Amino acid sequence: MVSKQLLKEYDFETIEQYFEYIVESIINGQRTQANSLLKNLSKKQLKQALQWFDECIETFDTNHYKEAKQLTLNYL
């Protein structure tokens, strides 16, 4: 589970910023890092991430969000 304390360690205020960090990791070719970040999420947070990625796909329609969604599905 990604706690408020862990968010603070990353200098994030919201879980959505953490999700964006996962996408940024993918953009930068850091898929191992993205997977490690996803492993930190609870089942509830993984479902929240899926919803957030879906919303971003509708808005931005980029492959990075689609890849993040696919990686997330691997953990559910």
Question: Residue range 45-51: average pLDDT?
Answer: 98
Q: Give, in order, the Cα–Cα distances in Å from 51 to each of 11, 48, 57.
A: 23, 5, 10
> Taking a C-beta distance cutoff of 8 angstroms, is the pair 21, 12 a contact?
yes
Domain range for 40: 4-73
Q: What is the pLDDT of residues 3-23, one digit of tens each?
A: 999 999 999 999 999 999 999
What is the C-alpha separation between 48 and 51, in angstroms, rounded? Answer: 5
Q: What is the pLDDT of residues 23-36, one digit of tens each?
A: 999 999 999 999 99
Give how many domains the chain has, as a whole number: 1
